[in-house]
Structure 1
Amino acid sequence: SAFTDISQWFLMPLLAAALAASAPAPRTRLVNLVLLALGLSWLGDAAPDLFGGDTAFLVMVGFFLCAQIVYIAAFAPYRSASILYTRRWALAIPVVAVVALIAVCAAGAGALLVPVVVYGLLLATMAVLATGVSSVMATGAVLFVVSDALIALGAFTELSVSGFAVMSTYIAAQVLIAVGARAVDESAVSSPGRAATA
């Protein structure tokens, strides 16, 4: 759809530009890594248009896999406040969600199953670590999981998934992550001790 095409090509660069322009100097590690992840996400949105079939899907997964690794690195310093340490029982939610999604998509994924599993594990790790940053960041991470789950269901099952549903949850996820990074960045500037950890 036109909405999907426009959002894929232009919204991530615009979001990154807004974050870069609004973050007070000097930028914290968190903001810099979120900016890098937004750039990788944009490549994941745009680069597949240059390919076709399974290659396009692998290119998309490859760039977003790199983005998830960067997000994990960005959120890792806040892990002591995440559910990994504070509410370990809650880890069952992302674990069950990822296992269920992989189980549903396994038959249709075929040769792409391994990269899909790896990406799913990284996505779940990112979401878990995001809970240690802020509630805004955690909400964005959860929406990221929802968006990618919709992509997987549309690609590997017979379910019909609209591009609008995928892109609206994806855009909301990235906006919330950027807003969350900006908020932490602002508090770090006003609190030098926090800045050292951010």
Structure 2
Amino acid sequence: MTTPAHSRSRIASRLDATRWWGFILYAALSVIHVTAIAFDLTAIEYPTKLLLMPALGIAAIWAVRGRLPTGSTALPAATLLFLALAFSWLGDGAAFFFPFLADELPAMLASFGIAHLLYIALFLRHLRPRPIAPWSVVYAAWWGVMIAVLWPHLGALLIPVIVYGAVLGGTAVAATLGGTLTAVGGAFFLASDTLLALRLFLPGVSAEATGPAVMIAYTLGQGLLVLGICRLIGRAPR
């Protein structure tokens, strides 16, 4: 016979499971977007891209609802998370949000650079359940190799790309503070930006060859980062 306490526990578990449904919707939208890129469905490619970060933001709001009372230690982390998603959205839609610019690349890099700095601040200041993974030193090697490969092709963008690369690597390193989910998310996010940098600056690397891969890595990276952060927020003292 089921006891009232056991019934309440099962109900609570089921209610808690519903917190993550938004990420399933985000995953479905990501699949649609990547499919649109792969099959050159231009009518839905850009609109679905613009919907990615709002969908992920809604998933995060649903996941942390009721867990951010005033004075909660999780509240600053959630604030930084939603700001990071907002700036990622600006980066995704740089051509849409900054139509007055002749080239949207600087606005895209600036928006994502701010988003990465917000992620770094989030992990370093508010979510540190474990130390930085020793293996993350590999990201320093990644940075050195990328700069060496791209150096001859960067021209006036050399310094901005060097700084931006350091920020990208910083996010991947900081993400190891949050555990496996965020560490894997940070690695995928970095892989996405690496492929994008090769496409933008390295002669012979085409958008057709890298487009789907860039967005697969990007949507996985952002999704896993946010999912991991929301799980950590749920465990934070209230």
What TM-score, normalized to structure 2? 0.72
Please list the CA deviations of residues 32-84 of structure 1 after superposition, one character each: whole Å capped at 9, or x if unmatched.
Answer: 2111101100000102342666x31111000001101101110103458333x
RMSD: 1.9
Aligned length in residues: 185
Q: How does 1:1-198 map to 2 (within 5 A)?
A: 1=37, 2=42, 4-27=45-68, 28=74, 29-49=76-96, 50=99, 55-77=103-125, 78=127, 81-83=130-132, 87=134, 90-157=135-202, 158-160=204-206, 161-188=209-236, 192=237
In the TM superposition, residue 144 of structure 1 has moved relative to its aligned partner by 0.6
Comparing 131-140 with 25-34, greater Cα deviation is found at 25-34
Q: Any unmatched runs of 5+ in structure 1?
A: none
TM-superposed deviation, 1:91: 4.1
Native 8 Å contact 2:136 2:176 kept in 1: no
Assess, with a 3 A threshold, how the Cα gap between structure 1 residues 124 and 82 changes in structure 2: closer, same or farther: farther
Distance 1:91 1:18, change over 3 A: closer
Q: CA deviation at 1:31?
A: 2.3
| SS across alignment from 1:18 | helix
CA offset at residue 170 of structure 1? 0.4
- Residue aligned with 1:25, SS: coil
Q: 1:107–1:156: 8 Å Cα contact kept in structure 2?
A: no
CA distance in 2, matches of 1:99, 1:7: 34
1:43–1:185 Cα change, 3 Å:
same
How far does residue 183 in structure 1 lie from its aligned partner after superposition?
0.7
Greater Rg over alpha carbons, structure: 2
* Equivalent position amino acid for 1:82 in 2: P
Provide the C-alpha distance between the structure 1 equivalents of 2:231 and 2:224, rounded to a whole number of angstroms.
10
What secondary structure sits across from 1:82 in the alignment? coil
Secondary structure, counterpart of 1:81 in structure 2: coil
Rounded to whole Å, the distance in 1 between the matches of 2:131 and 2:145 is: 23
What SS does the aligned partner of 1:131 have?
helix
Q: Distance in 2 between matches of 1:148 and 1:10?
A: 19
Structure 2's unaligned 5+ residue stretches are 1-36, 69-73
Seen in structure 2, the aligned counterparts of structure 1 residues 48 and 139 have a Cα distance that, compared at 3 Å, is same
Identity percentage of aligned residues: 34
Q: Match for 1:21: what amino acid?
A: W
